[in-house]
Amino acid sequence: MDSQAREQLIRAVAATIFQHSEELTALDQAIGDGDHGLNLKRGFEAVTAELPGLAEKSWPDLLKAAGMAMVMKVGGASGPLFGTFFMELGKTVGAEPDRAAVVAAFGKAVEAVKARGRSEAGQKTLLDVLVPVQAALAAGADAAAIKAEAIAAADKTVPMQAIRGRASFLGERSVGHMDPGARSSSLIIATVADELNKQGLMP
């Protein structure tokens, strides 16, 4: 993947977040504090502001820089969580990752998110998307299957009762709403899968 392709990938992810910013904010208004769309928008604005320079970096440097930009610009819960995810990916993925390297790095990044959030899958958070996607990835799923898994996993947060995050303050009243962080994670993963597939890098 050359720097142009990397730039295109980053821009595609950012575009998805910008398009869905209001939807994410609306989800967060229902069971949180109504800023998730704004938070991620601010984060991806910071990331795209570093283009094209950012896309010229190696994968590890690029991911660490993107993660650090999220940490320093987003705030809230999603800043440290998304930031940690990308920074950890950068730390472990290597300069020319093959599928096995990506699977391993994704696994490490998910563990880092769990440690940062002191959380697990099943608590109505973005981990409810990351964990099943990691499993699909490890099982060799193709782009379409990963995308479908991500979207379905976010939907599955609807009936859950939140144990972590702001929605946990609601107790039973958190049931019946999709978790905003799960939704945004699924959108990012779906876009990455689409892009990699389009660029011929993932079947």
Partner 1 sequence: MKKLINAVDDVLAQSLDGFAAAHADIVTLGEERKFVRRRQVKPGKVALISGGGSGHEPLHAGFVGFGMLDAACPGQVFTSPTPDQMMAAAEAVDGGAGTLYIVKNYEGDVMNFAMAAEMASGPVESLILDDDVAVENSTWTTGRRGVAGTLIVEKIVGAAAERGDDLASLKALGARVNSHTRSMGVALTSCTVPAAGKPTFSLGEDEMEMGVGIHGEPGRRRVKLASADAIAEEMLGAIVGDLSLTSATEVLLFVNGFGGTPLMELYLMQDRARKWLDGKGIKVARSLTGSYVTSLDMAGCSLTLSVLDEQAKALWDAPVHTPALRWGM
Ligand X SMILES: Nc1ncnc2c1ncn2[C@@H]1O[C@H](COP(=O)(O)OP(=O)(O)O)[C@@H](O)[C@H]1O
Beta carbon nearer to Mg ion, 90 or 117: 117
CA contacts within 13 A on the Cβ side of 110: 22
Question: 48 is in the binding site of which of Mg ion, ligand X, partner 1, none (Cβ under 5 to 8 A by kind)?
Answer: none
Minimum CB distance to partner 1 smaller for 178 or for 202:
178
Of 40, 42, 54, 73, the C-alpha closest to 10 is: 54
The residues in 130-169 that bind partner 1, with binding defined as CB under 8 A, are 163-166, 168-169
Terminal Cα distance for the chain, rounded: 15
- 39 versus 191: smaller Cβ distance to ligand X: 39
Q: Which is nearer to ligand X, 48 or 185 (CB)?
A: 185
* CB-side neighbour CA atoms (13 Å) of 76: 23
Residues in contact with ligand X by CB under 6 A are: 28, 32-33, 35-36, 39, 76-78, 81, 117, 119, 125-127, 164-166, 179-182
Q: Which three-class secondary structure string do you get for 106-129?
A: HHHHHHHHHHHHCCCCCCCCCHHH
By CB under 8 A, is residue 115 in contact with partner 1? no
* Token pair for 147: 């995308």
State the minimum distance, in angstroms, from the CB of residue 56 to partner 1: 24
